[in-house]
Amino acid sequence: MHTMQPYHILVRDAEEGGYTGKCLELPSAISEGETLEELKANMAEAISLIQESIIEEARLKHEQVIEVSV
């Protein structure tokens, strides 16, 4: 159940250089990158991994994950 949808990332300059990002819709998804393109790729991976983890945990608990469009 991975649909393509935009996520909003709060981007900040990192003290050591580069950028840090935090997903507004999935606050546990955080990452960093030397460039904005690297940050985008790293955030996409973090979001995907967290979604997979949530779906697997739900499956093990016999819960459902449903999709809602707004």
CA angle 27/30/31 to nearest 5° reads 165
Extract the tokens encoding 56. Answer: 């697997």
pLDDT along the chain (70 residues), means of 10: 79 97 96 98 97 95 90
Residue 1 is predicted with a pLDDT of: 47
Q: Where are the beta strands (DSSP E) in the chain?
A: 9-13, 19-23, 30-33
